[in-house]
Amino acid sequence: MHAGLYDSRLMSGQLPERIEPLRLAGTGASLQGTVALSTLSRLAPSLHAAGPETVEVRMHFGVDGEGVRYLRGTLRTVLELTCQRCLGAVRHPVNIELSLGLVGSPEEAERLAERYEPLVATGESMALATIVEDELILALPIVAMHADPACAPDLGTTTSETTEDRTGNPANPFAVLSRLKGKH
pLDDT digits (tens, 9 = 90+) for 100-109: 999 988 899 9
State the sign of the Cα–Cα–Cα–Cα dihedral 128, 131, 135, 137: positive
Q: How many CA atoms does the CB half-sphere of 170 hold within 13 Å?
A: 3
Q: What is the biggest distance separating any 2 CA atoms in the chain, rounded to whole angstroms?
A: 84
Contact 28, 62 (CB under 8 A): yes
Question: What average pLDDT does the segment 161-167 reach?
Answer: 51
Alpha helices for 10-164 (secondary structure H): 21-27, 106-110, 128-138, 160-163
Q: How many CA atoms does the CB half-sphere of 122 hold within 13 Å?
A: 4
d(CA 110, CA 124): 21
Q: How many CA atoms does the CB half-sphere of 59 hold within 13 Å?
A: 27
pLDDT at 11 over 50: no
Contact 61, 24 (CB under 8 A): yes
Burial 141-166 (b: 16+ CB within 10 A, else e): eeebbbeeeeeeeeeeeeeeeeeeee
pLDDT single digits (tens) 78-134? 999 999 989 999 999 999 999 999 998 889 999 999 999 999 998 889 999 999 999
* Residue 141 banded pLDDT, cuts 50, 70, 90: very high
d(CA 17, CA 36): 12
d(CA 67, CA 55): 30
* Residue 167 banded pLDDT, cuts 50, 70, 90: low
pLDDT single digits (tens) 59-78? 999 999 999 999 999 999 99
Task: Parse the chain into domains and list their residue ranges.
Answer: 10-138
Stated length of the chain: 184
Out of 20-29, 45-54, 134-143, pick the least confident. 45-54
Q: pTM score, two decimals?
A: 0.74
Q: Could you report how far apart the first and last alpha carbons of the chain are, in Å?
A: 75
Tell me what pLDDT residue 53 has. Answer: 86
